[in-house]
Amino acid sequence: VQLQASGGGLVQAGGSLRLACAASGFPTSISRYGMGWFRQVPGKERDLVAAISWSGTDTYYSDSVKGRFTISKGNLRNTVYLQMNLLKPEDTAVYYCAAHPTIHPTTVVRGPGYDYWGQGTLVTVSS
């Protein structure tokens, strides 16, 4: 299984970035998977910032990004995007995409269950 994240970079506070994550190589036993975006800064735990169901109809956002970030899926459902607007210096982190197998198309996982992880992409927001 491969989760390829891209789109990180350096942006000024108030600016925008769009992250993308393409998933591939799932075994045939896994037909559905929800996806999420996590972020981590040095010395702290990896936190979930946004998640989306396999169907794309259900989403979750952490309080820290609600109203500023939008998670969405591509037409083929194997790609997830994170549109980040009104970025703040405290959004600076390495962002990881992850996937969790599910049998329910509308399930959004907010905790353990993400079995597959991408390599991370660095987002730096300057003040």
Beta bridge pairs of residue 84: 17, 69
pLDDT-based confidence at residue 31 (cuts at 50, 70, 90): confident
Which residues, 6+ apart, have CB-to-CB distance to 54 below 8 Å? Answer: 32, 33, 34, 77, 102, 104, 105, 106, 107
Cβ-contact 38, 26 below 8 angstroms: no
Interval 61-74: pLDDT, tens: 999 999 999 999 98
Q: What percent of the chain has pLDDT over 70?
A: 100
The pLDDT of residue 108: 93
pLDDT in tens, 79-89: 999 999 999 99
Using only C-alpha atoms, the chain has a radius of gyration, in whole angstroms, of 14
- CA 110 to chain centroid, in Å, comes to 12
- pLDDT at position 8: 95
Q: Find the mean pLDDT for residues 54-60.
A: 96
**pLDDT score, position 45:** 95
Checking if the pLDDT of 23 tops 90, the result is yes
